[in-house]
Amino acid sequence: MVKLEHKKARLVLRLGDLKLEWAIERRYWRNPLIAVSCLLVLPLLISGRADLVSLLTMASIYACIAIPLTWQITGTSRMNFGPQLFVGVGGFTAGLLGIHAGLGPWQTLPIVILVSLACALLLSPLTIIAKGLYFSLITLLLPLIFLEITYYRSDIFRGETGISGIPHLFDLGSISLNYITGCYFSIALALLFLFIVDKVMRSRLGLYAAAINDNEDVANAVGLNTNRYKVVTFCITSEMIGIAGWLMAHYYGTFAGVTYLPLIFMIKILLMVMIGGRGQLYGAVVGAYFVAFLEYFLTGIGPVHYVVFPLILLILLFILPEGLYGLYRKHRYREYYPTIKVRRKEI
């Protein structure tokens, strides 16, 4: 008979004479492999329910937007209020090419990358010219202008109804199989983005980003070319957000500016980024999944999320200005700031 007991610091499994022990240490729970394997098993468990699979996909795509955004916020030391502009750019490029030129998802991807890179390069001087509030205001207005254009030129962008009939990402015969594959693909993309940004944040580039976020003038004075760094950061992250837009267009097969470009979508993204703490990478991942699931539960009540999301954001900014990470930092001060061990150099 299997006997499972949970002692204070170890998990013991007894099966007859066989005894298996695992030490439980706190660091094991932070092992990313656990979270990754959970994410990989979850779609299989819920594969019977299409709405949940779709929800998980949506959450992963949200994460694809929130993860690069955290890097952008710290790396440019500016709060971007309009990341959905690049969702729109990526999505419309993919959609228009898909229906007019008849290109498949893999053929539109390089073009989406090029187009969003061009847009990012065009807008990147903003990170040098505009500071603080002005940068936020300009980036807030840009997607709204784009939204107006989609109404005005509804012969191209199809205004309220949006583009439909975009080729799907995978065509494997059965619909449920397509959904599951799309879900896995979105999770994989989110994990890829997480991996890239995590690597960057742990490298010297992450140190530069933290320095710029803290004090741009001093960073420049100690020899960091801040302008170049900010432009490069802005371009790479906008690029990643554009790819998230591409995924949205090809996953749903439709893309409407009215869904992704208005303010309410920005508030969702803002909530994701702020819930974990401004510019906290793992906080943004939690935030993305939280927002997607909250949205799912709120749709049962009615269209209340127009009120609820801003309200949550407001309460959050009052109660937890530093987000969940701030709470964690307050209680586990020593763990949050890991001691850097250095060998003492002989003088």
Tokens 């394997």 appear where? 37
Instruction: Using the minimum distance from each CB to another protein, give the nearer residue, 248 or 274.
Output: 274
Note whether 324 binds another protein by CB under 8 A: no
- What is the contact mask toward another protein in residues 164 to 203, using x (rule: CB under 8 A)? ---------------------------------------x
Shortest distance in whole angstroms from residue 84 CB to another protein: 28
How far, in Å, CA of 70 to CA of 278, rounded? 7
Decide if residue 2 touches another protein (CB under 8 A). Answer: no
Helical spans, DSSP H, in the chain? 26-29, 32-45, 50-76, 84-96, 105-123, 126-129, 132-152, 154-157, 175-202, 204-214, 216-221, 226-252, 257-260, 263-275, 281-299, 305-319, 323-331, 333-336
Output 6 or 331, the one with its CB closest to another protein.
Answer: 331
Tokens 């202008």 -> residue: 145
211 lies in the site for another protein, by CB under 8 A: yes
Rounded Cα distance between 244 and 238, Å, is 10
Region near another protein per CB under 8 A, out of 217-225, 239-247, 253-261, 297-305: 217-225
Count of Cβ atoms closer than 10 Å to residue 83 Cβ: 27
Contact region with another protein (CB under 8 A), list: 56-64, 133-141, 151-159, 332-340:
332-340
State which residue, 105 or 276, has the beta carbon closest to another protein.
276
User: Which helix or strand (DSSP H or E) is residue 326 part of?
Assistant: helix 323-331
Instruction: Pick the closer one to another protein by CB: 176 or 215.
Output: 215
The Cβ of residue 337 has, within 10 Å, a number of other Cβ atoms equal to 9
Separation of alpha carbons 71 and 165, rounded Å: 34
Q: What is the dihedral of CA 277, 279, 283, 288, to 10 degrees?
A: 110
Closer by beta carbon to another protein, 90 or else 277:
277
Shortest distance in whole angstroms from residue 229 CB to another protein: 10
Q: Closer CB to another protein, residue 77 or residue 80?
A: 77
Residue 15 sits at φ, ψ, to 5 deg, of -135, 95
Nearer to another protein, 17 or 217 (CB): 217
**How many other C-beta atoms can be found within 10 angstroms of the C-beta atom of residue 105?**
22
Q: Name residues contacting another protein, limited to 88-147 (CB under 8 A).
A: none
**How far apart (Å, rounded) are the C-alpha atoms in residues 72 and 78?**
8
Question: Interaction with another protein in 223-252: which residues (CB under 8 A)?
Answer: 223-226
Q: How far is the CB of 271 from another protein (least distance, A)?
A: 23
**Residue 54 CB neighbours (<10 A):** 16
Based on the shown chain and the rule CB under 8 A, indicate whether residue 210 belongs to the binding site for another protein: yes
Place of tokens 């008849």: 102
Residue 215 as a binder of another protein (CB under 8 A): the answer is: yes
- 220 lies in the binding site for another protein (CB under 8 A): yes
One residue of 81, 157, 208, 255 binding another protein per CB under 8 A: 208
Interface contacts to another protein, rule CB under 8 A: 203-204, 207-208, 210-211, 213-215, 217-226, 337, 339-340, 342-345, 347
